[in-house]
Amino acid sequence: MNFEIKNVAKTVAVSILLAACGGGGSSDTPTGSAEGIYGGALTGSTSSAFQMLVLENDEVWTMYGTQTATEFSVAGFLQGQGQSNNGTYTSSNLRDFGFNPALSGTATATYNSSSKTISGTATFPGAAVGFSGGPISGSLYNYNTAATVSTVAGSWALTSLSGEGITLNVASDGTYMASSSLGCSFTGTLVPRASGKNVFNVSFSFGPSPCALPNQAASGIAVAYPLANGRTQLIVAGANSARTIGTAASGTR
């Protein structure tokens, strides 16, 4: 995979900062943590949709892009560490990997841990954007069911942030081999997260140029879930240890 980072408009970066920080809900039920997965719409952004994952440690990964009736397509992603507190989720160290190098931002949102809905505003250099969302439309994703390698084993045809085609082959033990249409080869693992939630920890080991991180490593997360149309959605994202460059890909089969 070339893993070329797509330079999207700043409004997109701001929007995903918002989405990423929304732990999931309105402020009328300030109980429980923000942990879980959410999806919804962005306003004031060139991307129209987001999918957000808040982990058990309040780390957040949010993909932004477009949502159709059959698939979510990733245009960029946001990652950072936050904190859930009585219906409010905040983060001061977010990174938007739609830029190279990644851009920094902060955000505050309110969440409802029962209905899994979110709303809020994020502040980014030069702009502020609103967002709203809840359970992912058209998805049968169950965050509280442990991830299994059998869900992702086999062949996938994915698309990267830059629109590059990726062929991914996952073995039954979670190891994988992949190559991109522009000549980047890479390997790694997809391992069910130790928390028992429906999330994979992902490692990347890139080959030489034309990979964007030649002969380097990265790590991140992946989610795979059934859709109402009978297909399965896979979304993979990762960043280097310095959090300066990242990549993501998505597709269905």
Q: Residues 68, 114: one domain? A: yes
| Tokens at 121, concatenated | 């505003």
Which one of 95, 111, 134 terminates a domain?
134
Residue 220 domain flag: yes
Q: What is the pTM of this model?
A: 0.86
Reference 64, options 51, 45, 79, 80; nearest CA is 51
Q: Residues 126, 177: one domain? A: no
- The residue-averaged pLDDT of 61-67 equals 92
What local confidence, expressed as pLDDT, does residue 22 receive? 35
What local confidence, expressed as pLDDT, does residue 28 receive? 41
32 vs 13, which has greater pLDDT? 32
Distance between CA 50 and CA 43 in Å, rounded?
11
What local confidence, expressed as pLDDT, does residue 190 receive? 98
CB distance 116 to 25 below 8 Å: yes
Residue 116 domain flag: yes
- pLDDT, one tens digit per residue, over 171-228 is 999 999 999 999 999 999 999 999 999 999 999 999 999 998 999 999 999 999 999 8
CB distance 191 to 200 below 8 Å: yes
Q: Residues 128, 25: one domain? A: yes
Domain count, the chain: 2
| Tokens at 106, concatenated | 């902060």
Q: What are all long-range contacts of 150-154, with beta carbons under 8 Å and residues at least 24 apart?
A: 151/224, 151/232, 152/190, 152/200, 152/222, 152/224, 152/234, 154/253
Domain that holds residue 44: 10-134
- pLDDT, one tens digit per residue, over 93-118 is 988 898 889 888 888 899 999 999 98
What local confidence, expressed as pLDDT, does residue 6 receive? 39
% of the chain surpassing 90 pLDDT: 62
Mean pLDDT, the chain, whole residue set: 86
What local confidence, expressed as pLDDT, does residue 120 receive? 79
